[in-house]
Structures are given as structure tokens and as C-alpha cells.
């Protein structure tokens, strides 16, 4: 099998640069510039995350500077933005609370948290809350760089053959630019639905086009709405 990026552990940056709460503004700027990063976690003396300082936090300082006419516009988020703009160290600049992830999370789970919290990166911590990595949006998107042939082989070998015990004659797999097409015919509708759902979970899959026919609709009863009250036929005269 080819290497897969299924968990945060496999896509995160491990060599994490951190600063302390008392790290001065200019030193933070230097850290970001020298390491080519856009944000840095703030850690306490035990290595636990306290906050995150990003380029956006630092730019508030510049945004507060008066223009050439001496005018000064109110910053968004005032007065919190004003306090950040006047901060001198990481403690005053950092954004809190820190949104964290764990190394054993799936890439999909990390992406959901990032989207829900509206953040660009997650600080990865271990079971003792120590910083062990950082994962960003580009890291999570890396899974979509998998070659189509790798994606096709995993769906064919791991999903269809190993899990569902289906042969290549029953279901065929085509992948183009991450778009998976499943075609063929199986006995039950539920099998076709499971194949689609499992294929969607394979790294590198953009979407799945299910074109699998089935002989038996074994999900028909489940799809019907259930009710504990028997319908009354008005033609029977029941009251």
C-alpha cells in the first residue's frame, strides 16, 4: 500500500517555533520573518499553549499609526484592537483562547474544527497539553495532491475488495482530478450506498459520482416515514 496522510500527525509541522508571553514585539516580528511563518504559538514555562500571535495581530500596531495628515481611524474590534495595537509583548498581542487539535485526529476532523472556529491553523498538543506541532490549511489540503491512480487503487483494493468483498466485475472505479466515478451493479442498494460513503472518506477524493445499479432495494422500508398512529381511511367511516 502507498503512504497515506490520514491523520494530523502525518501532515503537521513538528519543528514548532514558540515564544514566551514576555517576548517583545520586535523579537516576534524577527521570529516570523526568519522562519518564514505567519503565526507563532505563545507557550508557558511548561510548553502548554497560551495564545497565538499572527501577522494580523502585529499589523494592528501599524494600523494605529496616524496618517500623513494626523488622522487616526478607529480600529475594528475597538477597544480590544486598540489594546493589541499598543501591546509591547506577546502577552498583549496574542489571540486567545488557542484552538487546538490532537495528533490522532483525522485530517477531515481537523478541517471541520478549523472551518467551524474560523481559524487558519490549529496548535497540536499531546495528552499533557504540551505543544507538539502545528497544522495549517495548506497542510490539510495536501491530501488532494495524491495521484488519481493512488486514490483509485485504494478504493478498489481497500474499500471494494477488502471491506465490501466486491470484484472488479461488479463495481468499476474511475478517478479524474480527484472525482471518483463508481459504476456497475450489486445485489443490494445498501451495498451501493456503503461503497459511496466509504469512497468519500478516502484521502484525495474531491467528490463521488455514484452510478451503481442494484437488484434489491433493501433500504426501501427504512426510507419510509415511521408513525405510531395508524392512518384512518375516511371511506371506512371510522371516528
CB 53 within 8 A of CB 19: yes
**Start-to-end Cα distance in the chain:** 66
Tell me the mean pLDDT in the region 210-222. Answer: 86
pLDDT given at position 69: 53
Confidence band, pLDDT 50/70/90 cuts, at residue 85: confident
Q: How confident is the model at residue 67 (pLDDT cuts 50, 70, 90)?
A: low
d(CA 56, CA 94): 10
Domain ranges of the chain: 8-143, 146-222
- pLDDT reported for residue 236: 47
- Reported as a single tens digit per residue, the pLDDT across 172-205 is 999 999 999 999 999 999 999 999 999 999 999 9
Q: Is the separation of the CB atoms in 37 and 136 below 8 Å?
A: no
Distance, C-alpha 34 to centroid of its chain? 28
pLDDT at position 75 is 52
CATH assignment of 146-222, among 3.40.50.620, 1.20.120.80, 3.30.1340.30, 3.40.50.2300: 3.30.1340.30
Contacts of 159 (CB under 8 A, 6+ apart): 195, 198, 199, 202
The reply to whether 8-143 and 146-222 are identical in fold is no
Predicted pLDDT at 164: 96
* Per-residue pLDDT at 231: 47
Of 85, 122, 86, 83, give the one whose Cα is nearest residue 106: 122
pLDDT digits over 117-156, tens only?
999 999 999 999 999 999 999 999 988 999 999 999 999 9
Class of the CATH-defined domain 8-143? alpha beta
Tell me, what's the pLDDT at 83? 72
Ranking 20-34, 43-57, 84-98, 213-227 by mean pLDDT, the lowest is 213-227
* C-alpha cell, 131: 505543544
Amino acid at each position: 500500500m502507498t503512504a497515506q496522510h490520514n491523520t494530523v500527525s502525518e501532515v503537521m509541522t513538528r519543528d514548532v517555533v514558540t515564544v514566551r508571553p514576555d517576548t517583545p514585539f520586535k523579537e516576534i516580528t524577527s521570529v516570523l520573518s526568519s522562519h518564514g511563518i505567519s503565526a507563532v504559538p505563545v507557550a508557558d514555562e511548561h510548553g502548554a499553549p497560551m495564545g497565538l500571535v499572527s501577522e494580523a495581530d502585529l499589523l494592528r500596531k501599524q494600523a494605529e499609526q496616524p496618517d500623513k495628515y494626523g488622522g487616526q481611524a478607529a480600529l475594528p474590534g475597538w477597544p480590544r484592537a486598540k489594546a493589541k495595537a499598543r501591546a509591547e509583548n506577546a502577552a498583549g498581542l496574542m489571540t486567545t483562547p488557542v484552538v487546538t487539535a490532537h495528533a490522532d485526529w483525522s485530517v477531515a476532523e481537523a478541517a471541520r474544527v478549523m472551518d467551524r472556529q474560523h481559524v487558519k491553523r490549529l496548535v497540536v498538543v499531546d495528552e499533557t497539553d504540551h505543544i507538539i506541532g502545528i497544522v495549517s490549511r495548506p497542510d490539510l489540503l495536501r491530501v488532494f495532491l495524491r495521484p488519481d491512480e493512488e486514490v483509485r487503487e485504494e478504493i478498489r483494493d481497500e474499500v471494494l475488495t477488502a471491506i465490501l468483498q466486491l470484484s472488479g466485475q461488479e463495481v468499476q472505479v474511475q478517478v479524474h482530478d480527484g472525482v471518483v466515478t463508481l459504476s456497475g451493479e450489486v445485489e443490494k442498494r445498501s451495498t451501493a450506498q456503503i461503497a459511496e460513503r466509504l469512497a468519500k472518506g478516502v484521502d484525495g477524493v474531491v467528490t463521488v459520482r455514484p452510478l451503481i445499479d442494484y437488484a434489491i432495494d433493501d433500504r426501501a422500508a427504512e426510507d419510509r416515514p415511521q408513525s405510531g398512529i395508524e392512518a384512518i381511511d375516511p371511506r371506512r367511516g371510522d371516528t
